[in-house]
Amino acid sequence: MSFELVYTSARRGLRPGASGFCTVAATDGIPRALQDKLESLSGYSYTESLAGSVPPVNHSHMTVRIQRTVYHVLSRIGHVKAEHTNRTNKIAHHLALTSDEIESFDDGPTAMFTDQSFWFSQWDSDPQTLPPDRLPDSYSEPVNGFSAWEEVFGDAGWAGMLGHAIASDFRSVSVIVPNGDQTMALLNEALQLVKAADQWKVCFSTFYTRQTSSAHCHWRFVMDGTSEARHLRARTQGILVDPLGSKTELPDDNPFVQAAREGRPDQAHAMAAAKIRRSGGGALSQPNGDDDEERPERPSVRRRREARLQKKAVQTRSPFDIPEEEYAHVTLEQADAGGSETKRKSSKRKNKAGLILVSVLLLAVIAILVVLGIKQLT
C-alpha cells in the first residue's frame, strides 16, 4: 500500500495542536515510523535556493527502510509563498511506494513526476487525511537524445558519466548545474543510459544539499553558487561532473560517453561489455583527477576489482545500499541469495569446528590434572 504525506507551514496541522512546520495531510493509516521518516526528509535549503534566479524545486527518489519494509520515496519539495506569519515557507509532498508497487510503473521514477495535478505545490486547505492508493498517472516525457546536456554543458558526453557511475556499482556522481531550470530534462536524458531493470534502483535529487538529505543518493544535482558546490569543488568523493567550473575532461574512450555523444543510449551497455571483454576485465575509464589513475594499482586491489566485475547475484556493494533482497516481499527461495547464504553457512561451520577443538583441548587438560591429582593422593 502506498502512503502520502504533505509537510508545510500552516496555522493548523493534522496532529491536534500542531502548527507551523508540520504535516498537513497524510494517507489514513500511515505508520508512525514512516511519517517521522518522511518528515525528516522534508528539508529545503532556502538560503541555498537563492543562488538561482528562481528557487528550484527538488524532485527526488530515495529508498528508505522502515523496520523490514523498503519504501521508494518520491518527493517534490519547493518554495512557496509566505506563510501565515509572513515568513518563508516550503512544501514537501512525499509518496512512498513498496517494492511490489513500483513493478507496475515500468517507466521509472522520473515518470511519476509528469502528472502535475497529483503533486501539491502549495497548500491553502484545512488539514486532511488523504484517501489510500492515490497515485499519479505515470508516463515518460518524450526525450530527444541528449539535447539538454548539449545545451547546458556544450557536450552531450557528460550524460555518459551518470550512466557510467551506475554501471560501476552504483557509484555516486555529483553534477554542478548553472540553475535549476533543466535538471528534470537532464535527468530524463541520463536515465536512457540505465537499463530499464535498474532505473528504480537509481536514487537522485535535483536540488541536493548534504544537510537536507539523510538517505543515500546516486545522482546529485547541485546548483552552482551554493556552499555545496564550493564544497564539492574543494573535495569530492565519487565522480564530479563540473564542466563549467573546473578543468575536468571527459574520457573519450568511455563507452557511455561515446553512446551519449552519438545519441545511441541503447548501445551503451553493449559497448561497455565489449570494452571489458577486450581489456580482459579492466575498469572503465573515468574523468581525470581521480586519485586511482595516478597510482600503480596494487595486485590485491586489482584482484578485488576483477572479482567485482564478474557477474554475481545482486548483493549489497556498499554498506549504505539497502539490501532489498533481504527485506522485500519475496521469499528466500525466489531470491537468488545462494552466494551470500553459502558464505554465511561456511563461516558458521568454521566457528563450530573451532569451538569443538577448544572444548576437546580443555577436557584433555582437565583429565590430565585429575589423573595427577589422584596420583598425588595415592
Partner 1 sequence: MSDSGILAQITCPHCWNRFPPEETLWASAHPRLYGDARLGPDVQRRFLPTRFDAGGNAIDSQGSFCSEVCCPKCHLGIPRTMFELRSIFYSILGSPGSGKSHMLATTTWQMRQALGSRFKLSISDADPDSNRQLNESEERLFFNEHPDKLATIPKTETEGDLYQPVQFGDETIWYPRPFVFVVQPLADHPRIAERDEISRAICLYDNAGEHFLPGGESSISPATQHLNISRGLLFLFDPTQHARFREACKANTNDPQILGTGRSHRQDQILHEAANRIRTHSGLAQQQKYDKPLIIVITKLDSWGPTLWPEWDTVDDPIRDARQGVAGLDLSLIESVSAQMRVIMSKLAPEFVNAAEGFANNVTYIPVSSLGRSPEVDEESGMLGIRPNEVKPVWAEVPLLYLLNQTSTGLIPAVRRSGG
Applying CB under 8 A, which residues contact partner 1? 9, 11, 15, 17-22, 36-37, 39-48, 65-67, 81-90, 172, 209-212, 214, 216, 227, 235, 237-238, 291, 318-320
Q: Residue 50 corresponds to which amino acid? A: L
Cβ proximity to partner 1, 217 vs 259, nearer residue? 217
Cβ proximity to partner 1, 298 vs 375, nearer residue? 298
Rounded to 5°, the CA angle 116-62-35 comes to: 85
Cβ proximity to partner 1, 235 vs 311, nearer residue? 235
| Least Å from the CB of residue 85 to partner 1 | 4
Q: Residue 160 corresponds to which amino acid? A: G
Cβ proximity to partner 1, 189 vs 228, nearer residue? 228
Cβ proximity to partner 1, 110 vs 226, nearer residue? 226
| Least Å from the CB of residue 228 to partner 1 | 11
Other residues' Cβ atoms within 10 Å of the Cβ of residue 138 = 18
* Cβ-proximal residues to 128 (8 Å cutoff; 6+ apart), any chain: 14, 24, 25
Other residues' Cβ atoms within 10 Å of the Cβ of residue 367 = 10
Cβ proximity to partner 1, 83 vs 324, nearer residue? 83
Helix (H) or strand (E) holding 38: helix 32-40
Cβ proximity to partner 1, 21 vs 118, nearer residue? 21
| Least Å from the CB of residue 126 to partner 1 | 16
| Least Å from the CB of residue 63 to partner 1 | 13
Do the strands 69-80 and 58-66 form a parallel or antiparallel pair, or are they unpaired?
Answer: antiparallel
**Residue 335 gets which letter from DSSP?**
S
Q: C-alpha grid cell for residue 7?
A: 509537510
Cβ proximity to partner 1, 118 vs 327, nearer residue? 327
Instruction: Identify the CA nearest to 191 among candidates 116, 68, 92, 109.
Output: 109
| Least Å from the CB of residue 331 to partner 1 | 22
| Least Å from the CB of residue 39 to partner 1 | 7
Place of cell 523498503: 70
Cβ proximity to partner 1, 150 vs 228, nearer residue? 228
Helices then strands, each counted (H, E), the chain: 13, 10
Q: C-alpha grid cell for residue 38?
A: 518522511
Cα distance between residue 20 and residue 172, in whole Å: 35
List C-alpha distances in Å: 318 to 176, 248, 321. Answer: 24, 26, 5
170: left (phi over 0), alpha (psi -120 to 50) or beta: left
Three-class DSSP category at 157? coil
Q: For the CA atoms of the chain, what is the radius of gyration?
A: 26
Cα distance between residue 324 and residue 201, in whole Å: 10
| Least Å from the CB of residue 223 to partner 1 | 14
| Least Å from the CB of residue 291 to partner 1 | 5
Three-class DSSP category at 60? strand
Contact 196, 106 (CB under 8 A): yes
Q: What are phi and psi of 220, to 5 degrees?
A: -120, 115
Cβ proximity to partner 1, 45 vs 110, nearer residue? 45
